[in-house]
Amino acid sequence: MTGTAQQVIAIRDLGRQDYVPLWHAMQRFTDARTESTRDEIWFTEHPPVFTMGLNASKEHLLAPGDIPVVQIDRGGQVTFHGPGQLMIYPLLDLRRSAMGVRTLVTALEQSVVDLAAEFGIDAASRADAPGVYVAGEKLASVGLRIRRGCSFHGMALNVDIDLEPFTRINPCGYEELAMTDLKRLGIDANPDKVWPRLLPHFLHHLGLSDADLEHNDDGLPAATRD
């Protein structure tokens, strides 16, 4: 992927957003894209919600309680999103950049591995299960959707999140999978501080640099708003 004028990426720090409206905004953005639409990366957090992927089995939803459950259109099983979890949504035209899905998944995973290494944490991805793990515990989860050659949904990085809701499900379809976050690994951080440190690693693995960015502080694009 090279930094041409058409491939400048808009970066949006969206703060905390309700899950369903933002999911619909991603869908609208993807459906309205043209060949000249610039790529974007959205950073956000969500209020508590369980999301079920396209092929998710309800047997992995053990006891959701009062937390909403949303059936969505990404890959993967069931997971939890909540405050203190950084969501990274890469809205990329993969066909234009000749990027494979595996390359995008690897870029997302390796960006977390590199970030963890900054803090002296030995993290790694797994060939049999997407995501990033530390000593067998899951730190980040990946779930994408590709439509019209473009990506949406993305990665959830646990920064400083209540892990109790993960005990109400089989995370990502795995029984007794333990979850962790940066806080429990000794890193005092919040999503607002983490995403600017994660972004350079992600860009590096996409073959981009800061010179290819345009930062937007005005929220969502107008075409994606209800």
Q: Enumerate the active-site residues.
A: 172
SS3 131: strand
Query: Tokens standing for 41?
Result: 């990366």
Alpha helices in the chain (DSSP H): 19-32, 94-97, 101-118, 191-206
CA angle, corner 146, sides to 168 and 94, nearest 5? 130
Strands across the sheet with 40-45, in order?
124-126, 129-134, 137-147, 150-158, 85-91, 40-45, 9-16, 213-216
**Secondary structure letter of residue 182 according to DSSP:** T
Per DSSP, the three-state class of 199 is: helix
Nearest to 146 by CA among 26, 37, 42: 26
- Compute CA distances 47 → 25, 26, 56, 162, 213, whole Å: 17, 17, 21, 11, 28
